[in-house]
A = this chain, B = another copy of it.
Amino acid sequence: MIEAIRVPRNAVSAAILLCLGLAAQAHAAGEQAEQFTPEFRQIHSTMDAKHSPRIVAPDSVARGEWFTVTVSVGTGSQHPSMSEHAIRYIALYKDTAEIARAYLHPVYSAPTVTFTIALDEGGSLRALAEPNHSAAWETSKKIEVRP
C-alpha cells in the first residue's frame, strides 16, 4: 500500500527504521513519566533571586540605533554553571518577537550574555532564561523608542 502512493524508497526505509526505534523505546514509558516535575509546566514570571533574569538596557533609544542589552541570571549572586545544574539558554524578545538567543555550555559559560540590538518601536524587552530543571524564567523591562 505504501508503494502505491509512490513514496521514494529512501523515505520508506527511513520510516520503517523510525518505527523500529519507537518500538524499542516503548518499554521506557513508565520510567519517563517519573521524571516530570511541576516546575517544567510553564514559564515562571514570579521573582526568584536565583533564577530571574536581570536586564541591563537603556530606558530610551532612537529608532534603528544599535545599543547593548546584557542579560544575566540571578539577582543576588550568579546562577551556577555546573554540568548537572546550569542555564540552557538566555533568550531576548521584544514583546512576542524573538531577537536573539544564546545557548550556553555548562561549566564553560556563565549565564551572562550581551547582545547588540536595534528596535523599531517601543514596548517590552523580555528576557527568558531556561535552566535544565524547569521551564524558563522571565523578566521584562519597558523601553521607549524615539522616532
Q: A residues bordering B, Cβ < 8 Å?
A: 2, 5-8, 10-26, 28-37, 40-43, 56-58, 61-70, 72, 77-78, 81-86, 88-89, 94-110, 112-121, 130, 132-133, 135-136
> B96–A28 contact, CB under 8 A?
no
| Minimum distance in angstroms from A22 CB to a CB of chain B | 4
> A102–B120 contact, CB under 8 A?
no
Contacts A77-B24, A120-B40: A29 and B65 contacting too (C-beta < 8 A)?
A: yes
Task: Report which residue of A2, A28, A116 has the largest number of chain B beta carbons within 10 angstroms of its beta carbon.
Answer: A116
Cα of A132 to Cα of B111 in the assembled complex, Å: 15
Question: Which residue in B23, B78, B104 is a CB contact (below 8 Å) of A6?
Answer: B23
> B106–A116 contact, CB under 8 A?
no
> B29–A18 contact, CB under 8 A?
no
> B11–A19 contact, CB under 8 A?
yes
Question: Which residue in B113, B133, B135 is a CB contact (below 8 Å) of A96?
Answer: B135
Contacts A7-B20, A14-B57: A25 and B105 contacting too (C-beta < 8 A)?
A: no
> B11–A22 contact, CB under 8 A?
yes
Among residues of B, the one whose C-beta sits closest to the C-beta of A100 is B109
Q: Which 5 residue pairs across A and B have the least CB separation, nearest first?
A: A33-B64, A114-B114, A15-B15, A36-B120, A84-B84
Contacts of A69 in B (CB 8 A): 14
Contacts of A16 in B (CB 8 A): 2, 15
